[in-house]
Chains A and B, each alone.
Chain A
Amino acid sequence: MLGIVRALGTTMRAAMRKPVTVQYPTEKKELPHRSRGFPVLLWDTRITEPFCTGCQVCARYCPVDCITVTMRDNPKYAEGKSKRKKIVDKFYLDYARCMRCDICVEVCNFDAIVMNNTWQGVELSCYDRQDLVLDLPALLEQSRSGQLEDPFREPMGVAHSGWAPKAEEEGEAEAAPAAQTAAPAAPEQATTEGGEG
């Protein structure tokens, strides 16, 4: 009996509170920084080429075999603009097959691939399964246009390429450098440089 009164009180209190519903397509919750969307490649804005060297480590470790990569000589290396001797030629990633296990990100020596932590990394509905096989420009698009503002894993970036000047030296010469090109944390930088050297 008192339970009835208590139940009525509970529902009335709940009715007075703000509904917790998020009207999803029009109103989106902020994704956690470590959110694992489908993987995308990162773009080195300073040297204007992908971080990826096409080393195929990701393709070899991918448990579902959804990555296909080929490698070519880097023309910018010959010109002396880049320190990457090899660069990615073709890169295909089948999102229909990918299970977002994060292994490709773990094994990448150049931190060239990250799990997409934006809504674009998960809202991928399309009418044709073939549209889920993304090629190199499509995979780089988000990073290149600056939409991937804050990837969870910072690329080794400038320091890793060991070529372009440091951010503070360069100043405002380059317009709108994206977040991923910022110099990584000092210890990481030291180890990577040591490894490279």
Chain B
Amino acid sequence: MIAGNAWVDALVRMGIIGALVPVSVIVLTWVERKVIGRMQMRLGPMRVGPYGTLQGFADTIKLLTKEDVRPQTADRWTFELAPFVIVVPTLMALVSLPFTADLFVRNLTLGLFYIVAVSGLSIVGFVMAGWGSDNKYALIGGIRAAAQLISYEIPLVMAVLAIAMIGQTLNLSEIVAKQHNVPYIAYQPLTFIIFTIAGLAELYRQPFDIPVAESEVVGGPFVEYSGIRWSMFQLGEFVNLVLISILGSLIFLGGWRWPIGGDAPVIAQFALMFVKASVFILFFMWMRASLPRLRIDQLMAYCWQLLLPFAFLQIVINGLVLVYDWPSVLLTVFSTIAAAAAIWLTYRVAQQSGVRYQPGFDRVGSVL
């Protein structure tokens, strides 16, 4: 408790998170441009502030002062409310997300469930934006977003469910506490792979940026948005990035604990969470710089034919091990075997469907 009154306490905590998250988003846009710049042998932003550190803030000021345009034929309320429908659920999800052992707004008993449930709402925002813009590209983008996000929500939820089975709780703080000796990535490598891929798809980032593909649907649902409303889409995207990264580091990497057991002091807890979440974020940026976009049929097939069955397989394995009280080493063994099978299957399908366009540049884009 920071303050005596529960309401005041909650407000203070929400204020802290509500102030920190936009700033972290601003910094993240800069980090992303820098990282991708380096991966393309560029420098990235360098002009605004030392090493371009103030670039994000300059962009924010520019976006906030830009004219907010609404097309004449747009459906007024749908169009104007869509950014809120996207941003608000992601911010709501942060309410139950513990950043360290003590820094959280509310430590919900059903925290994991709540986060999954709430962050699924933002799909409605994409459909609203697509429909309300009265623009065919926006509409196609919105429909694509709905299809992709709903599809990948399922393996994501199943992966989270497998973790909840191991942890025997939906409370995120307890899940972290249960990883006192071994982080869950050791028990559930397959779940980790599924979570990372599905999470990447949930963030609609490359190579899963089909709904917002510039070259196909010129930005998808955001086509008609400008200024502050567009920046809200951007905010939602990056808050989601932070959310998935922190969630992943909480349930797989042991959150604010040292990697191999042991409690950490408060400062180290911050540092550990920062490092673990950064690993996720940098990995997502790395993927973005490296991989071309998938086709929508590849995307759907990969989700429904591979990720989902393997997520169910993981749940069955977990159930067997837990019900018959087998030693937890078996979880590692079975999950590793299943992960190897998943990777092998992906590899085989990719080998079969890959079309050789140029020698030396084959099958980079075809996952299935």
Mark A residues whose CB is within 8 Å of B: 1-4, 6-8, 10-12, 14-15, 17-21, 23
- Asked if A3 contacts B39 (CB within 8 A), the reply is no
- Asked if A19 contacts B38 (CB within 8 A), the reply is yes
Interchain CB contact (< 8 A) of B43 among A7, A11, A21: A21
- Asked if B364 contacts A17 (CB within 8 A), the reply is no
B177-224 residues at the A interface, CB under 8 angstroms = none
B29-46 interface mask toward A, CB cutoff 8 Å, 1 = contact, 0 = none? 000000101111111001
- Asked if A3 contacts B363 (CB within 8 A), the reply is yes
- Asked if B364 contacts A14 (CB within 8 A), the reply is no
Residue of A nearest to B363 (CB): A3
Judge whether B347 is part of the interface by a CB distance below 8 angstroms.
yes
- Asked if A1 contacts B43 (CB within 8 A), the reply is no
- Asked if A21 contacts B363 (CB within 8 A), the reply is no
- Asked if B41 contacts A14 (CB within 8 A), the reply is yes
Contacts A11-B286, A11-B289 given; does A4 touch B367 at CB 8 Å: yes
B333-349 residues at the A interface, CB under 8 angstroms = 343, 346-347
Interchain CB contact (< 8 A) of A4 among B38, B39, B43, B364: B364
Q: Roughly how many angstroms separate A4 CA and B346 CA in the complex, as a whole number?
A: 12
A6 / chain B contacts, CB cutoff of 8 Å? 364
Judge whether B168 is part of the interface by a CB distance below 8 angstroms.
no
Beyond A1-B350, A1-B367, A3-B363: 4 further Cβ-contacts under 8 Å? A3-B366, A8-B290, A20-B42, A21-B46
B366 / chain A contacts, CB cutoff of 8 Å? 3
- Asked if A19 contacts B37 (CB within 8 A), the reply is yes
- Asked if B40 contacts A2 (CB within 8 A), the reply is no
Residue of B nearest to A21 (CB): B43
A1 / chain B contacts, CB cutoff of 8 Å? 343, 346-347, 350-351, 363, 367
Q: How far is the CB of B207 from the nearest CB of chain A, in Å?
A: 9
Residue of A nearest to B283 (CB): A8
Residue of A nearest to B40 (CB): A14
- Asked if A3 contacts B364 (CB within 8 A), the reply is yes
B364 / chain A contacts, CB cutoff of 8 Å? 3-4, 6-7
B315-368 residues at the A interface, CB under 8 angstroms = 343, 346-347, 350-351, 362-367
Q: Roughly how many angstroms separate A33 CA and B35 CA in the complex, as a whole number?
A: 36
- Asked if B39 contacts A12 (CB within 8 A), the reply is yes
Residue of B nearest to A23 (CB): B46
Sort A-B residue pairs by CB-CB distance and give the 10 closest, nearest first. A3-B364, A7-B290, A1-B347, A11-B39, A21-B43, A1-B350, A11-B290, A15-B39, A15-B38, A3-B363
- Asked if A8 contacts B42 (CB within 8 A), the reply is no
Judge whether B291 is part of the interface by a CB distance below 8 angstroms.
yes
- Asked if A3 contacts B362 (CB within 8 A), the reply is yes
- Asked if B43 contacts A19 (CB within 8 A), the reply is yes
